[in-house]
Amino acid sequence: MPVVYNVTIIIDHSVHDEWVDWMKNEHIPEVMATGKFTSWKMLRIIEDHNPDGLTYAIQYQAPDMEAYLTYQNECAPALQQDAQNKFGGLFGAFRTCMEVIEESHSS
């Protein structure tokens, strides 16, 4: 069963543009280069009235729980540390793993 690894992030306004660029051009490509995920989406919360920053959700789809757990154990700590080193104190993150029960794509 596929799983979705969702990372919800509130990023401080002062580093927003730099963070978006870093996510698109460095961090997400590094996560995908681990080979544990098959696709990703970067979403911004539209109705976000948080004065501390803008809220995003990054969703990575893994083919199964084994791939996700391997990522968490072998890859995530170093990649999360990279984010702390670059933006520490300027973001908050909440991570969840969800099982895909069913999905459909319009034709």
CATH code of the domain covering residue 77: 3.30.70.100
User: Is residue 58 a part of any domain in this protein?
Assistant: yes
Predicted local distance difference test score (pLDDT) of residue 3: 98
Q: How far apart are CA 44 and CA 31, in angstroms?
A: 19
Give residue 47's pLDDT: 85
Looking at residue 66, what is its pLDDT? 98
The first and second tokens of residue 21, run together, are 């660029």
H helix runs in the chain, sequence order: 16-22, 28-33, 65-74, 76-87
Q: What pLDDT shows up at residue 49?
A: 81
Return the pLDDT at 59: 99
The rounded distance, in Å, linking the Cα atoms of 63 and 36 is 8
Structural domain that includes position 41: 3-99
Let me know if residue 37 belongs to a domain: yes
Instruction: Return the pLDDT at 15.
Output: 98
Q: Say if 105 falls within a structural domain.
A: no
Given a cut of 70, the residues of the chain with pLDDT beneath it are none
**pLDDT number for residue 106:** 87
In angstroms, the CA 89 to CA 69 distance is 27
- Note whether residue 107 is domain-resident: no
Residue 106 lies in a domain: no
Domain count, the chain: 1
User: Is 36 inside any structural domain?
Assistant: yes
Report if residue 75 sits inside a domain: yes
Is residue 17 one of the residues assigned to a domain?
Answer: yes
Predicted local distance difference test score (pLDDT) of residue 48: 74
pTM of the entire structure? 0.93
